[in-house]
Structure 1
C-alpha cells in the first residue's frame, strides 16, 4: 500500500508541470513591503528608459522547477499613464494589463487590469524579464490596448501549454504575443495572426514524455494538449517573444531586473 501511495504521488507530481502559470492569487514568498519595493524599482527602471509600455514577466515558481528555456510563468503589459492615488490625488504610473485563468473554472480565462504591486506579489524569485518595444511598436500597442481589438484578441479557452500557432487555446504569454502580432501586422484577425506566427515565430519547445502527455490533464484540467503535435510542446515564453521582437525590430531591448535588497 505504501508503494502504491508513493507511486501515485510521483505520478501527480510528474504529470502536473506547475511551472506555467497565469494565477491571480498572491503567492506568499516576499513580504508585502518587499513586493512593493520591487514593483517600484521596476517602475523606476521603465520610466528611466522612457517606456510608455513594456512587456514584463515574473515567475510564480522557483527556477529549479522550470524546464529549459522557460524562466518566467506569467507576463503582462505595463502601461504608463495617469493614475488616481489612494488619497484621491492624480499622478502618473504604470497600470498592468493581464490575462488570468479563472479560479472557479481554470479552463477559461479573463482579462484584468491591476497594478505593479499585484503583479509582483506573485513573484518568487526576485527577478523579472522586460521587453521594451520600439517607439513605433509602443504607439501601435497602445492603440491596440485602447481599442476593441484588445478584447477581440482574447481566446477564453485556456491551456497552460497553449500552442502560439493554434487558435484553440490561449494563456497569458500567448495573449501578449497575439497583441504584439496584431500591432505588427495591423490586424485583429486571429486566423491570419496564427498563420503569420506559424511562419515567423520560433516557439519555445518543451519536452514532455509520453506518460506526461497521457496523464497531465488527469490531475490539472488547465493542461490541454489538443493543439500540440506529437513532438515537443510549443509555447510562447519570455525568451521566444524577446527573440522574435528583436529579430524583426519590434523591440529596442530585452533585459532582466533583479530585486535590489537595499531598495
Structure 2
C-alpha cells in the first residue's frame, strides 16, 4: 500500500527537484517523504472533487503558536499548470538569506519542505476570482509582482521588501483590480477589506534575544513600531479572514494530525 501511495504521488511531483528552504543536498527521510506524499494525495483528492481552477493551500512550516497563529505559509495551487495537474505556485525565501524566488512545485514537494507537521487547509475562492488568478499564474513570469528582497516581517505595502504571504495578497489584489504594480495591487486589497495582523516582538527580546538574521529586517518598520514591538504583517490568518469577510471564499477544508476537521480550526 505504501508503495502504491508513493507511486501515485509521483504524479504530483514536477520535473524540477526540491526548492526553497532546504539548502543541503541531503535525501529526505523515508518517513517524512511518505507523510508528505500522504498529505499531497489527500489534498489532491479534495481538489479533484471540486470544479475549480485554483485554490489556496496553507501549511505549517514554522511554529507560530507563540503569536497565536497556526499556519505560517500559503500558496496558490493551480489546476493544469504547465508544470503539472496540481501545481503549487508560491514565494520562498532562499536558505535564510535576504533573497526570495517564485517556485512552481508539485504537492509532494510543497509538503516535504521540513515542516513542523502535516496540517493543511484548502481555501476555494469564488469562481471569477479563481479563474483570473489561475490565468495570471499560468502566465508567470509575466506580471509576477515579485520583489526578491525578502523580509520575514515585511511591512504590508512595503516597496523595498516582500515575503511569501505579502506576495499572495498582492497577487490577489492585482487580480481584483487588474493592477500592474505592487503598490496598486496592495491598495486594491486594502480597499477590498484587507487588514494586517500584528505580531508582538518586544524591543528587549529583539536586542537581547539576538533576533537578527539575513531574512529579517526590522528597519522596514518605523521607529515607533520597533520601540512598541507590535509589527503589522500579512499572515495566512489575515489573508483568509479578509477573503472570507469580503465574500471571496466559496469553501474550505482542513486536516489536523492527519484527520479531516468537521469544524474548521483557528488559523
TM tier, smaller: 0.7 to 0.9
Q: Which structure would you say has the larger RCO, counting Cα contacts within 8 Å and 6 or more residues apart?
A: 1
Q: 1:127 to 1:30 in 2, by over 3 A?
A: farther
Does the 8 Å CA contact 2:64/2:72 hold for their aligned counterparts?
Answer: no
Q: Which residue of 1 aligns with 2:33?
A: 32
Output aligned runs, 1:43-122, within 5 Å: 43-62=44-63, 64=65, 66-68=66-68, 70-81=69-80, 93-103=85-95, 106-122=97-113
Q: Which residue of 1 aligns with 2:217?
A: 224
Find the partner of 1:145 among 125, 137, 143.
137
Does the 8 Å CA contact 2:75/2:91 hold for their aligned counterparts?
Answer: yes
**Count of residue pairs brought into register by the alignment:** 231
Q: Which residue of 2 aligns with 1:188?
A: 180
Q: Which residue of 1 aligns with 2:21?
A: 23
Shift of 1:49: 2.5
Does the 8 Å CA contact 1:242/1:254 hold for their aligned counterparts?
Answer: no
Q: 1:67 to 1:29 in 2, by over 3 A?
A: farther
Q: 1:99 to 1:82 in 2, by over 3 A?
A: closer
Q: 1:109 to 1:82 in 2, by over 3 A?
A: closer
Shift of 1:83: 7.0
> 1:249 & 1:216 partners in 2: Cα distance?
41
What is the alpha-carbon root mean square deviation over aligned residues?
2.8
Q: Which residue of 2 aligns with 1:87?
A: none
Q: 1:150 to 1:233 in 2, by over 3 A?
A: farther
Shift of 1:258: 2.9
Does the 8 Å CA contact 1:62/1:125 hold for their aligned counterparts?
Answer: no
Question: Which runs of 5 or more residues in structure 2 are unaligned?
Answer: 1-19, 261-267
Does the 8 Å CA contact 2:173/2:186 hold for their aligned counterparts?
Answer: no
The residue matched to 1:98 in structure 2 has which SS? strand
> 2:140 & 2:104 partners in 1: Cα distance?
15
> 2:79 & 2:67 partners in 1: Cα distance?
32
With normalisation by structure 1, the TM-score equals 0.77
Query: Deviation per CA, 1:103-139, whole angstroms, max 9, x where unpaired?
Result: 3x71011111111000111332221122211100111
Matched, 1:164 2:156: yes
Question: Which runs of 5 or more residues in structure 1 are unaligned?
Answer: 1-21, 85-91
The residue matched to 1:155 in structure 2 has which SS? coil
